[in-house]
């Protein structure tokens, strides 16, 4: 067909017109740090494993998860999930229930018997880990993965440290704890129980280890001087909780008074209730607002009928009764005595006033410094002694299981660097994916999945786990509530909304690419990207 | 087959034998009988396959035709007068896109004042629109020209107007030898479009063309018409061979050999002119006439050849270029550039005024004594004109508006008083 | 078009696609093999809503008709930016004739395809609001009335953009255009209230098989409507709201946002009709006050500034409210 | 024979144009050349209208209206006082009137005296049409009458033309009307003679 001149044109001829030259600013794909990852003390790549969980690929999600934390089933239960506090979705409806999905993945792994990644080739280096608590186990896991030989010396008769002796089984069932610890052992981590290190220096000499990681935790209960009659029964919370584990449940009586305001106090009171106490009363010298215990646990405790007595200190312990002085907060919010007294009935008093670290075994370690009862470490968790590292409750920081696990991971990384004689390198962090960068219109409304809870009666009378887990469906549902803040989740918006077809789709998992030959730089893609993973940068003229 | 038949019907039946695939119809006098005829033929199933579409305006009529033709269908429509003006934009578009549409014009005057009778103002208004314009002398030719028109249009990929005098031909019963289907099929091959909208051969038709190529595009449509000048005589000759009668062509001479006066005209008036020529010849007057069959492209060379030896050329036309006079005459003058003949422009038959032998004889007589105005309006009623001009000159307000208004107020005031 | 709500909370049915949706739930635009009926290299402004709307509609139509489509295009921005000699951006059989005759040209093409027995070929006509609601309305009405087998798509950017933003019968009240300027009495500036027309409703009055409104901000809805229209025969009409950054004085990156707000305010109701009856509407997801829509556009700037023109903003809000109640746009 | 020109006068709706066309067809059927055309216009029912017909042995080129008719057919006598019906009528021309009354009764005898004997006749065409067709459409009957007075065409040709034009039923009626009109003219002529 001989076509008329000029008026009739061949298809595709416009490709010769490179409209990219119109551009004054160009779109670029970026990855931002999601607030959840940012807030996770264990440095978990939460958005990363949720991304995999969204597609129902739980195995992959779990494998991604355990790259940072070998104990998701425990974490999903014991962690106070700062990730959820930081979650951008909270500003939309409710935070994604990250811990619930994590727990689901952890439980699924146990159920299916998924294995942790095999260790790398042997490095013929040996690291001693002191203490089989969260921090120690975490460090051991990471070191082992890196191919190092790891030996754990645990003073106690059981692994888990505070995960076992600090967290009652109704919050963390023991078969879960045992399963995840066992999995770490299977990697070839050697755990020696009832092996107390009295003098680290000599132990290191004897064992000939190349480095040590100290994570003995804080197991010395703080005492307070309370004048007491002979008949009066006073215990400390840790021994109560430890007793539960070692098979010597304490005798507490029908009316139990717990003194303190931390999580341990709540655990002690809730344990007492489960042991048959008709009344468990928590006495705290400040107000509820000032109470360090976690809100969630407060809720549960109150539901279970735990009583509270605020602004009170225990002055004297008698037989079946205690003298309490009322306090009032001063301008700075510190409690001050009022001189008003009252007497309350109680068969026993449980002290939950915090714990100290037993640092005796460090006396001969060169250069190691101690300050306010804890070991000083630098940013690499290294003590003053170059091949000795420390973490968990024995170093200056908040005392949570998650943080402890984070310490273990961080220490392991640095021990490895140390052992390889490499220079310490800090991996640069992405900019934070803040809420204002999201285009939330594209996310449809979805209420948070509520985890089933054990009925009250059984909670008050047994040690069964209070929080149920998610099933496969609502776990998937929950995972998909993730907004994937700051990281492309391949929604195809940029690809579909470009008026100039200047976005190239690379295929599943491969994300997209801009075709700057034609991109006019209108900025629609950046504006309409739900998760804020596109940035407009000015063209340099 | 010989028939005593109305012109419009003859055209309708002939067009039907050209196997148009899409026909767009909108009524306007005096073209209406043609599309009525076609609708009947299509409805009766005598023309298949064919889509007969009743549109909502002439603009739509030609627009539908444009779409159909661009999609490769043989397409036909018809209109007249105001209708042609209403589709003007599409008229230019069809030729610009090189779409071989055939359209019959039942020639009629253009208002205001509204007038339904015959003259050539409508076709003339579109003479530069890039369409080929053929004029029929009688109903036999009106029918025959359509067959040639489709062939010509499709060969050149250029639209063609077949112009038929409204009423005088469209409504006249005459003897017409209607071609048979076999004859037409033998003469008119299947439509092979030069371009066609087709999902399997993707292209864009109707691009915007800037200064860099517009002149070339226009030159090419001019060139197309020059090619038509070569093809029209050939197709007319082929037609004569196959149908056994002469129809179409650039022009036809009538007793012009040795003629010293030659009358040039378009369309049906040529019959009357030839009657007058015969009468005058009997009286020994050396006169002849030329019937222009093709007006666009204008056959400059053929016209020059036909008129070069005449001392006197009278261009009789049914159209008026207001402010200058003739339209056809202007083109004839161009053809005769450098030839010494006197050229008269005679405007006749406007709005259906009868062109009578008597008037023609009188006019020719004056021409022969060289007493004819260079631009003459045949049978102009001078009396009416003068009376009106007088009245106008009396009524026309003179002087500054303010005074006139004041005068009016004065009158009103007087009445009140 | 009530799009089926997928229980998928990261993206719902609002994004273009998503790796987790199965093919049937993704849009045509999400496909790697999409046809790009309007291809790269066109000369539309940055962030052109019309270019976007045209590709959406044509790609969806091509998919529905297995690429067997022919398109007649009215004069206007779309035609000029897509086919300036020597380049065309169309990957479909496409034709431009005149400003006011796209519907008629399409009728002719459809007739030609019918006589040629090419029934698989589907014919579309498209134009802007000028070519549709003003100069082309005669031909459009004729095509409707004859129920010709044509899908006509109007890309409504509410003014004559090609000629430099002049008022059309689709220009909304108070909007500033070159022929409804903001000069002199501020309270009288911009397009008049109580003028203009709803061509979708006029189309509906022709009792044709299908009429719908759509927005470039709701791709799933738009594609569903085009697909539905392509599944029917006879005259069909889809009226798509396409913001024009140049003419509306908005940021090129805000095109979709503004289109979305037009829907969410109720100023541009999304509905469907069949044979003269309104049969479905797309409920507003999150109702917003008209200010949010108006403020993003310089053509309405004179309503704000130091002391906002509260009365006229209220009149515009009233229009939105009326749409919501008239079309039942509440969830 | 030279060209024969007919002018038919009537009112819109009386089939004036049809009459002229039928005449041309009848002539065509006799191998003659003929041309019929209306006084081009958009006349509505009731308005005075004209139609023309030319009949010749050779092809007809002339396009002017018939100004010197050889025959006048007047379908509606009420026009007598409105239009100058007889304008240009040739001295040897024919006049056929649709009327129940004779030429004398109509007071035309004086005026039409110059015409040859028997060239001026009236026939009750409407009446015949009512009788045979059921509607007062005088044209067919007048054509029969025309064949009668002029002898230019055979009544058979006229009837053939009618049959060619109309569907059988209507054709029968009109043919009958034409036939009777033709016979009336003929018989009356016999009486006169």
For residue A378, whether the previous peptide bond is cis, meaning omega lies within 30 degrees of 0, is: no
| A119 in C contact zone (CB under 8 Å) | no
- pLDDT at position D189: 52
Q: Which domains does chain B possess?
A: 2-196+208-243 (3.40.50.970), 251-377 (3.40.50.920), 386-416 (no CATH)
Nearest to B14 by CA among B227, B128, B185: B185
> Which residues form the domain of A396?
126-162+178-219+370-419
Q: Report residue A501 as tokens.
A: 């077809």
- Quick one: average pLDDT of B15-23? 98
CA–CA separation, A483 and A495 (whole Å)? 19
Is the CB of C253 less than 8 angstroms away from the CB of A18? no
> Tens digits of per-residue pLDDT, A352-369?
998 899 999 999 899 999
- pLDDT at position D193: 33
Paired sense of beta strands A335-345 and A321-329, if any: antiparallel
Q: Would residue C3 count as lying in a domain?
A: no
> In this model, does residue D184 exceed pLDDT 60?
yes
> Tens digits of per-residue pLDDT, A488-522?
999 999 999 999 999 999 998 899 999 999 999 99
Give the other-Cβ count within 10 Å of C330's Cβ: 11
- Quick one: average pLDDT of D24-42? 90
Domain stop point among A479, A506, A527: A479
> Tens digits of per-residue pLDDT, B208-229?
999 999 999 999 999 999 999 9
- What CA dihedral angle connects A259, A265, A266 and A270, to 10 degrees? -80
CA–CA separation, A234 and A320 (whole Å)? 11
Helix (H) or strand (E) holding A107: helix A98-112
> In this model, does residue D27 exceed pLDDT 80?
yes
> In this model, does residue B401 exceed pLDDT 70?
no
Cα dihedral sign for B336, B337, B343, B345?
A: positive
What percent of chain A has pLDDT above 70? Answer: 99
> In this model, does residue C8 exceed pLDDT 70?
no
Paired sense of beta strands A25-29 and A190-192, if any: unpaired
Better pLDDT: A444 or B129: B129
Which pLDDT band holds residue A295 (cuts at 50, 70, 90)? confident
Q: Would residue C170 count as lying in a domain?
A: yes
- Quick one: average pLDDT of B231-255? 97
> In this model, does residue B248 exceed pLDDT 70?
yes
- Quick one: average pLDDT of C167-174? 97
Same domain, A349 and A259: yes
Which pLDDT band holds residue D188 (cuts at 50, 70, 90)? low
- For A86-180, strand residue ranges (E) read 126-130, 149-153
Helix (H) or strand (E) holding D132: helix D125-132
C107 to chain B: which residues are within 8 Å by CB?
53, 55, 60, 64, 67
Cα dihedral sign for B293, B295, B296, B300?
A: positive
CA–CA separation, D137 and D13 (whole Å)? 8
- Quick one: average pLDDT of B21-26? 97
Q: Would residue C277 count as lying in a domain?
A: yes
> In this model, does residue B406 exceed pLDDT 50?
no
Helix axis angle, A98-112 relative to A58-65, nearest 10°? 110
Q: Would residue C13 count as lying in a domain?
A: no
Distances A182 to A122, A192, A195 between C-alpha atoms, Å: 21, 13, 18
CA geometry: angle C250, C253, C257, nearest 5 deg:
80
What residues contact residue D129 under an 8 Å CB cut-off, 6+ apart?
A: D135, D136, D137, D138, D140, D141, D173, D174, D177
> In this model, does residue D117 exceed pLDDT 70?
yes
Paired sense of beta strands D4-11 and C271-274, if any: unpaired
Give which of D19, D40, D56, D66 to mutate to test B binding, by max B Cβ within 10 Å.
D40
Facing residue for B220 by CB, picked from A1, A5, A9: A5
Facing residue for B98 by CB, picked from A4, A9, A10: A4
- pLDDT at position D42: 56
Nearest to B77 by CA among B85, B65, B69: B65
- pLDDT at position D40: 60
Is the CB of C40 less than 8 angstroms away from the CB of A526? no
Q: Do chains A and D touch (3 or more CB pairs under 8 A)?
A: no
- Count of domains observed in chain C: 1
- Quick one: average pLDDT of A112-116? 96
- pLDDT at position C9: 54
Give chain C's mean pLDDT: 94
- For B166-301, strand residue ranges (E) read 173-177, 203-205, 251-254, 261-266, 287-292, 294-296
CATH of residue C101's domain is 3.40.50.970
Q: Report residue A348 as tokens.
A: 């026993």
CA distance C233 to chain B (A): 17
> Tens digits of per-residue pLDDT, B302-318?
999 999 999 999 999 99
**CB pairs A-C closer than 8 Å:** 168
| C108 in B contact zone (CB under 8 Å) | yes
Are the C-beta atoms of residues C225 and C21 closer than 8 Å to each other?
no
For residue C82, whether the previous peptide bond is cis, meaning omega lies within 30 degrees of 0, is: no
Nearest to A88 by CA among A44, A37, A36, A40: A36
Q: Report residue B285 as tokens.
A: 């007057």
For residue B49, whether the previous peptide bond is cis, meaning omega lies within 30 degrees of 0, is: yes
Same domain, A348 and A376: no
Q: Where are the alpha helices (DSSP H) in A146-188?
A: 162-165, 174-186
For the stretch C267-299, what's the b/e string if a residue is b when 16 or more beta carbons lie within 10 angstroms of its beta carbon? bbbbbbbbeeebeebbebbeebbbbebbebbeb
Q: Which 47-106 residues of chain C touch chain B by CB within 8 A?
A: 67-70, 72-73, 79-80, 82-86, 88, 90-98, 100-101, 104-106
Is the CB of B97 less than 8 angstroms away from the CB of A3? no
Give chain B's mean pLDDT: 94
Facing residue for A9 by CB, picked from B98, B157, B204: B204
Same domain, A331 and A346: yes
> In this model, does residue D80 exceed pLDDT 60?
yes
> In this model, does residue A39 exceed pLDDT 50?
yes
> Tens digits of per-residue pLDDT, D50-69?
999 999 999 999 999 999 99
- Quick one: average pLDDT of B122-131? 98
User: Partners for B (CB, 8 Å, 3+ pairs)?
Assistant: A, C, D
Q: Would residue A173 count as lying in a domain?
A: no
Which pLDDT band holds residue C76 (cuts at 50, 70, 90)? very high
| C66 in A contact zone (CB under 8 Å) | no
Nearest to C270 by CA among C328, C204, C214: C214
Which pLDDT band holds residue B413 (cuts at 50, 70, 90)? very low
Is the CB of B195 less than 8 angstroms away from the CB of A1? yes
- pLDDT at position A455: 77
Are the C-beta atoms of residues D49 and D41 closer than 8 Å to each other?
yes
Q: Would residue C318 count as lying in a domain?
A: yes
| Residue A467, phi then psi, degrees to nearest 5 | -85, 125
Is the CB of C115 less than 8 angstroms away from the CB of B22? yes
- Count of domains observed in chain D: 1
State the DSSP code for A3.
P
CA–CA separation, A68 and D74 (whole Å)? 115
> In this model, does residue C291 exceed pLDDT 50?
yes
Give chain A's mean pLDDT: 92
> Tens digits of per-residue pLDDT, B153-206?
999 999 999 999 999 999 999 999 999 999 999 999 999 998 899 999 999 999
What percent of chain C has pLDDT above 70? Answer: 96
Q: ipTM score here?
A: 0.88
> Tens digits of per-residue pLDDT, B356-373?
999 999 999 999 999 999
Same domain, A379 and A295: no
Better pLDDT: C12 or B13: B13
Are the C-beta atoms of residues B93 and B61 closer than 8 Å to each other?
no
Q: Do chains B and D touch (3 or more CB pairs under 8 A)?
A: yes
CA distance A15 to chain B (A): 14
CA–CA separation, C125 and B63 (whole Å)? 13
- Top mean pLDDT of A223-237, D95-109, D174-188 is at D174-188
Q: Would residue C252 count as lying in a domain?
A: yes
- pLDDT at position A83: 96
Paired sense of beta strands D94-98 and B261-266, if any: unpaired
Better pLDDT: A243 or A46: A46
Q: Would residue C53 count as lying in a domain?
A: yes
Q: Would residue C7 count as lying in a domain?
A: no
Same domain, A239 and A262: yes
| C201 in A contact zone (CB under 8 Å) | no
The residue whose two tokens read 């940072």 is A68
Are the C-beta atoms of residues A141 and A117 closer than 8 Å to each other?
no
Nearest CA in chain B to C143: B55
> Tens digits of per-residue pLDDT, A252-263?
889 999 999 998
Cα dihedral sign for A12, A14, A20, A24?
A: negative
- pLDDT at position C276: 97
Is the CB of C142 less than 8 angstroms away from the CB of B50? no
Q: Report residue B299 as tokens.
A: 């056959």
CA–CA separation, B237 and B151 (whole Å)? 13
CATH of residue D51's domain is 3.40.920.10
Give which of A524, A527, A532 to mutate to test C binding, by max C Cβ within 10 Å.
A524
Paired sense of beta strands A321-329 and A220-221, if any: unpaired
Paired sense of beta strands C69-73 and B375-377, if any: unpaired
Q: Would residue A206 count as lying in a domain?
A: yes
**CB pairs A-B closer than 8 Å:** 47
- Quick one: average pLDDT of A83-101? 92
- pLDDT at position A492: 94
> Which residues form the domain of D151?
4-192
> In this model, does residue A124 exceed pLDDT 70?
yes
Q: DSSP 3-state assignment of A83?
A: helix
For D44, half-sphere exposure in the C-beta direction (CA atoms, 13 angstrom radius) is 0
- pLDDT at position B417: 30
> Tens digits of per-residue pLDDT, B383-396?
888 887 887 777 76
- Quick one: average pLDDT of A432-450? 85
> In this model, does residue A348 exceed pLDDT 70?
yes
Is the CB of C115 less than 8 angstroms away from the CB of B209? no
Same domain, A49 and A74: yes
Q: Where are the alpha helices (DSSP H) in A2-45?
A: 35-39
Domain stop point among A355, A381, A410: A355
> In this model, does residue D149 exceed pLDDT 60?
yes
C61 to chain B: which residues are within 8 Å by CB?
none
- Count of domains observed in chain A: 4
């Amino acid at each position: 067909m001989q076509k008329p001149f000029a008026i009739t044109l061949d298809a595709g001829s416009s490709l010769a017109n490179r409209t990219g030259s119109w551009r004054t600013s160009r779109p670029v794909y970026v990855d931002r740090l999601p607030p959840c990852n940012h807030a996770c003390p264990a440095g978990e790549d939460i958005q990363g494993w949720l991304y995999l969980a969204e597609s129902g690929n739980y195995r992959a999600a779990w494998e991604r998860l355990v790259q940072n934390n070998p104990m998701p089933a425990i974490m999903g239960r014991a962690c106070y999930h700062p990730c959820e506090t930081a979650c951008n979705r909270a500003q939309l409806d409710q935070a994604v229930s990250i811990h619930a999905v994590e727990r689901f993945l952890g439980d699924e792994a146990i159920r299916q018997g998924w294995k942790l990644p095999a260790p790398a080739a042997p490095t013929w280096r040996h690291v001693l880990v002191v203490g089989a608590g969260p921090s120690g186990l975490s460090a051991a896991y990471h070191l082992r993965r890196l191919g190092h030989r790891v030996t754990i010396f645990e003073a106690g008769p059981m692994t888990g440290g505070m995960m076992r002796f600090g967290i009652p089984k109704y919050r963390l069932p023991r078969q879960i704890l045992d399963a995840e610890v066992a999995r770490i052992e299977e990697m070839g981590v050697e755990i020696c129980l009832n092996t107390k290190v009295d003098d680290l220096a000599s132990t290191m000499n004897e064992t000939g280890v190349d480095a040590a990681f100290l994570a003995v935790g804080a197991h010395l209960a703080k005492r307070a001087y309370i004048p007491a009659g002979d008949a009066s029964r006073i215990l400390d919370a840790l021994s109560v909780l430890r007793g539960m584990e070692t098979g010597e449940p304490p005798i507490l009586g029908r009316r139990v008074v717990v003194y303190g305001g931390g999580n341990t106090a709540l655990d002690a009171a809730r344990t007492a209730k489960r042991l048959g106490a008709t009344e468990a009363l928590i006495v705290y010298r400040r107000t509820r607002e000032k109470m360090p215990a976690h809100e969630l646990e407060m809720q549960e405790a109150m539901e279970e009928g735990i009583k509270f007595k605020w602004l009170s200190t225990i002055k004297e312990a008698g037989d079946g009764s205690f003298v309490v002085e009322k306090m009032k907060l001063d301008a700075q919010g510190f409690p001050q005595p009022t001189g008003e007294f009252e007497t309350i009935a109680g068969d026993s008093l449980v002290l939950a006033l915090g714990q100290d670290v037993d640092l005796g075994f460090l006396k001969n370690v060169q250069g190691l410094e101690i300050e306010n009862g804890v070991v000083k470490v630098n940013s690499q968790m290294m003590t003053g002694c170059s091949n000795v590292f420390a973490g968990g409750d024995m170093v200056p920081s908040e005392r949570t299981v998650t943080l402890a696990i984070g310490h273990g991971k961080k220490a392991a990384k640095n021990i490895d660097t140390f052992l390889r004689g490499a220079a310490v390198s800090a991996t640069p962090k992405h900019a934070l994916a803040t809420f204002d960068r999201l285009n939330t219109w594209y996310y449809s409304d979805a209420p948070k999945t509520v985890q089933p809870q054990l009925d009250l009666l059984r909670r008050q009378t047994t040690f069964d786990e209070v929080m149920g887990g998610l099933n496969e469906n609502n776990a998937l549902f929950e995972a998909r509530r993730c907004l994937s803040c700051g990281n492309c989740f391949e929604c195809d918006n940029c690809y579909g909304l470009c008026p100039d077809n200047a976005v190239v789709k690379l295929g599943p998992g491969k994300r997209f690419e801009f075709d700057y030959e034609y991109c006019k730089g209108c900025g629609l893609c950046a504006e309409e990207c739900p998760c804020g993973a596109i940035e407009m940068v000015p063209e340099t003229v | 087959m010989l028939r005593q038949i109305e012109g419009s019907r003859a055209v309708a039946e002939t067009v039907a034998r050209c196997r148009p695939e899409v026909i767009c119809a909108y009524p306007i006098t005096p073209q209406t009988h043609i599309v009525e005829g076609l609708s009947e033929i299509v409805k009766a199933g005598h023309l298949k396959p064919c889509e007969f579409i009743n549109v909502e305006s002439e603009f739509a009529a030609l627009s539908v035709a444009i779409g159909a033709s661009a999609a490769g269908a043989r397409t036909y429509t018809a209109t007249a007068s105001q209708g042609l003006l209403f589709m003007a934009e599409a008229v230019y578009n069809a030729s610009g896109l090189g779409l071989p549409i055939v359209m019959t014009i039942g020639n009629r005057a253009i208002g205001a004042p509204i007038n339904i009778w015959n003259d050539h103002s409508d076709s003339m208004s579109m003479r530069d629109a890039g369409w080929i314009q053929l004029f029929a002398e009688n109903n036999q030719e009106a029918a025959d020209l359509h067959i040639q028109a489709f062939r010509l249009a499709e060969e050149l990929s250029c639209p063609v107007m077949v112009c038929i005098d409204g009423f005088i031909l469209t409504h006249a019963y005459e003897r017409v030898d209607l071609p048979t289907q076999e004859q037409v099929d033998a003469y008119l091959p299947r439509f092979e479009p030069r371009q066609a909208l087709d999902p399997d051969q993707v292209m864009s038709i109707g691009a915007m063309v800037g200064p860099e190529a517009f002149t070339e595009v226009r030159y090419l449509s001019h060139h197309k018409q020059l090619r038509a000048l070569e093809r029209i005589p050939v197709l007319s000759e082929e037609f004569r061979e196959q149908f056994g009668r002469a129809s179409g062509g650039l022009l036809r001479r009538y007793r012009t050999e040795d003629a010293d006066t030659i009358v040039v005209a378009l369309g049906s008036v040529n019959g009357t002119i030839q009657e007058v020529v015969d009468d005058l010849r009997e009286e020994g007057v050396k006169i002849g006439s030329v019937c222009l069959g093709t007006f666009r492209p204008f056959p400059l060379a053929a016209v020059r050849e036909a008129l070069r030896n005449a001392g006197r050329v009278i261009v009789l036309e049914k159209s008026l270029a207001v402010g200058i006079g003739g339209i056809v005459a202007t083109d004839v003058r161009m053809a005769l550039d450098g030839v010494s003949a006197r050229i008269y422009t005679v405007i006749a038959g406007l709005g259906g005024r009868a062109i009578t032998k008597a008037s023609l004889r009188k006019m020719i007589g004056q021409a022969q004594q060289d007493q004819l105005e260079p631009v003459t309006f045949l049978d102009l009623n001078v009396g009416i004109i003068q009376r009106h001009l007088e009245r106008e000159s009396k009524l026309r307000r003179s002087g500054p508006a303010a005074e006139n208004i004041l005068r009016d107020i004065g009158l009103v005031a007087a009445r009140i008083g | 078009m009530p799009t089926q709500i997928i229980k998928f909370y990261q993206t719902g049915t609002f994004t273009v696609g998503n790796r987790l949706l199965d093919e049937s739930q993704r849009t045509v635009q999400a496909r790697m093999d999409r046809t790009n009926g309007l291809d790269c290299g066109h000369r539309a402004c940055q962030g052109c809503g019309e270019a976007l709307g045209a590709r959406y509609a044509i790609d969806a139509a091509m998919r529905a008709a297995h690429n067997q489509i022919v398109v007649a295009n009215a004069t206007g921005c779309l035609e000029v930016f897509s086919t300036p000699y020597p380049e065309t951006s169309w990957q479909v059989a496409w034709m431009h004739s005149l400003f006011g005759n796209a519907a008629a040209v399409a009728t002719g093409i459809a007739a030609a395809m019918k006589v040629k027995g090419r029934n698989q070929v589907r014919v579309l006509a498209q134009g802007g609001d000028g070519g549709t609601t003003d100069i082309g309305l005669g031909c459009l009405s004729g095509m409707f009335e004859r129920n010709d087998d044509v899908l006509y798509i109007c890309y409504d950017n509410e003014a004559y953009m090609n000629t430099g933003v002049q008022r059309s019968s689709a220009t909304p009240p108070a909007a500033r255009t070159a022929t409804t300027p903001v000069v002199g009495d501020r309270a009288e500036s911009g397009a008049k209230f109580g003028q203009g027309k709803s061509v979708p409703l006029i189309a509906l009055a022709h009792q044709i098989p299908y009429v719908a409104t759509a927005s470039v901000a709701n791709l799933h809805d738009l594609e569903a409507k085009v697909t539905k229209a392509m599944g029917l025969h006879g005259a069909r009409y889809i009226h798509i709201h396409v913001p024009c950054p140049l003419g509306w004085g908005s940021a090129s990156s805000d095109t979709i946002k503004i289109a979305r707000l037009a829907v969410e305010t109720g100023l541009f109701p999304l509905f469907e009709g069949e044979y003269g009856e309104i049969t479905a509407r797309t409920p507003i997801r999150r109702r917003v006050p008209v200010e949010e829509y108006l403020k993003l556009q310089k053509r309405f700037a004179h309503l704000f500034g130091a002391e906002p023109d509260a009365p006229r903003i209220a009149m515009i809000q009233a229009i939105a409210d009326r749409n919501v109640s008239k079309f039942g746009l509440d969830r | 024979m030279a060209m024969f020109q007919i002018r038919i006068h009537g009112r819109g709706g009386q089939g004036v144009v049809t009459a002229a066309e039928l005449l041309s067809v009848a002539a065509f059927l006799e191998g003659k050349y003929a041309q019929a055309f209306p006084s081009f216009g958009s006349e509505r029912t009731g308005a005075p209208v004209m139609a023309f017909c030319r009949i010749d042995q050779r092809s007809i080129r002339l396009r002017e209206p018939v100004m010197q008719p050889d025959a006048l057919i007047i379908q509606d006598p009420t026009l007598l006082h409105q239009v100058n019906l007889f304008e240009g009528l040739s001295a040897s021309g024919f006049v056929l009137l649709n009327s129940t009354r004779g030429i004398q009764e109509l007071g035309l005898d004086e005026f039409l005296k110059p015409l040859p004997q028997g060239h001026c006749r009236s026939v009750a065409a409407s009446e015949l049409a009512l009788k045979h067709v059921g509607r007062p459409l005088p044209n067919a009957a007048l054509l029969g009458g025309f064949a009668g007075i002029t002898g230019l065409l055979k009544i058979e040709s006229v009837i053939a033309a009618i049959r060619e034009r109309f569907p059988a039923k209507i054709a029968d009626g009109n043919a009958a009307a034409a036939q009777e009109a033709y016979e009336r003219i003929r018989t009356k002529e016999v009486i006169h003679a």
